[in-house]
Amino acid sequence: MPNAKKIIWKGVDDMPEMAVSIASMRINKTASWRNLKPIIDYNKCKPCGICWKFCPEPSILLKEDGTPMIDYDYCKGCGICAEECPRNAITMHREER
């Protein structure tokens, strides 16, 4: 995989035709505006993968054994995972800034 690059163009002539950048999402972390942080209670979680399926970003990663992990670099705090978890294992907490 190529290294992530910050988008630096001089002008229209050296820009790509479309808004496309090389792996820039590795640098461009999008979680800075999260107000509510989902936290998984692993005592309650019986890895079913439902949160992973519903996360719109997608910011939930699954370990080999299916345990979900939240990627806080990109999670936007929408709370969909908490809403969908059938075991109520995910709770939302106000971010401290």
Partner 1 sequence: MKKVLMGNHALSYGAKLSRVQVIAAYPITPQTQVVELLSEMCADGELDAQFVKVESEHSALAASIGASAVGARTFTATSAQGLALMHEMIHWAVGARTPVVLGNINRAMAPPWSIWTDQNDSLSERDTGIMQVYCESNQEVQDTVIQAYKVAEKVLLPCMVVLDAFYLSHTYEPVDIPEQKLVDKYLPPFNPPYKLDPKDVHAFGGLTDAKWYYELRYKIESAMNRAREEWKKADDEFGKIFGRRYGLVEDYRCKDADIILITSGTITGTARITVDILRDKGKKVGVLKIRVFRPFPTDKVREMLGGAKKVACIDRNISFGQSGIFFEEIKSALYNSSHRPPIWGYIAGLGGRDVTPETIKEIVKRTEESDRPEDLIWIGLKK
Smallest separation, CB 13 to partner 1 (Å): 10
**Beta-bridge partner residues of 70:** 60
Smallest separation, CB 90 to partner 1 (Å): 26
Q: Does 46 bind ligand SF4 (CB under 6 A)?
A: yes
Please state, in angstroms and rounded to a whole number, the distance separating the CA atoms of residues 21 and 47: 34
Q: Is the Cβ–Cβ distance between 71 and 92 less than 8 Å?
A: no
Stretch that binds ligand SF4, among 3-11, 16-24, 42-50 (CB under 6 A): 42-50
Please state, in angstroms and rounded to a whole number, the distance separating the CA atoms of residues 23 and 7: 10
Based on the number of CB atoms within 10 Å of its own CB, is 78 exposed (0-12), middle (13-18) or buried (19 or more)?
A: middle
Q: Which residues would be at the binding site for ligand SF4 (CB under 6 A)?
A: 38, 40, 45-51, 55, 57, 59-60, 68, 70, 75-81, 85, 87, 89-90
Q: Which residues would be at the binding site for partner 1 (CB under 8 A)?
A: 1-2, 7, 9, 11-12, 15-25, 28
